[in-house]
């Protein structure tokens, strides 16, 4: 595994740990945001193995990164479509947590998001071991 891929996986691990701390502090919005970024960094790691440049990933256009993930990883490879749906769901939750005036997301929502993100990161790690 090259350094760039490992760096993204390390970022994913740290983001999930931060999400857990935020959840323990009953900060649902930040827990959801960190959970999403944990998943996002794992997706970035998979894309680096498909030749997607670090510069593209660093531009921060999440919709484009998601599209590249669907095209280069989910479509032609055995990483499940459920993983892609999970990423989309986490992104929607992240946008609600980050941009809505009134908080409406609960710690239960955050717990579910964190579980989904952890599963996605685990799937990505397992897939990366096979490439």
**Residue 20 predicted with pLDDT over 90:** yes
pLDDT, position 12: 98
pLDDT in tens, 80-126: 778 888 999 999 999 988 888 766 889 999 999 999 999 999 999 99
User: Band of the pLDDT at 17, cuts 50, 70, 90?
Assistant: very high
pLDDT, position 61: 84
Which residue segments constitute the domains of the chain, with CATH numbers given?
3-130 (1.20.120.330)
- pTM, two decimals, is 0.91
Dihedral (Cα; 108, 114, 115, 119), 10-degree rounding: 160
Contacts of 66 (CB under 8 A, 6+ apart): 43, 84, 87, 88, 91
* Alpha helices in 61-106, H assignment, sequence order: 62-69, 81-99
pLDDT in tens, 49-81: 988 887 788 887 888 888 888 887 887 666 777
Angle of helix 28-48 versus helix 3-24 axis, rounded to 10: 170
pLDDT, position 99: 87
For residue 77, the 8-state DSSP code is: S
Structure tokens at 21: 């701390």
């Amino acid at each position: 595994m090259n350094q760039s891929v490992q760096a993204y996986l390390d970022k994913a691990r740290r983001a999930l740990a931060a999400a857990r701390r935020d959840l323990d502090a009953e900060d649902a919005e930040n827990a959801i945001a960190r959970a999403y970024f944990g998943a996002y960094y794992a997706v970035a790691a998979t894309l680096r193995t498909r030749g997607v440049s670090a510069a593209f990933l660093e531009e921060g256009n999440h919709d484009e990164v998601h599209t590249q993930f669907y095209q280069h990883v989910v479509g032609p490879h055995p990483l499940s479509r459920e993983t892609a749906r999970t990423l989309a769901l986490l992104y929607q939750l992240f946008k609600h947590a980050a941009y809505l005036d009134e908080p409406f997301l609960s710690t239960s929502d955050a717990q579910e998001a964190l579980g989904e993100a952890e599963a996605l990161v685990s799937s990505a790690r397992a897939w990366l071991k096979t490439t």
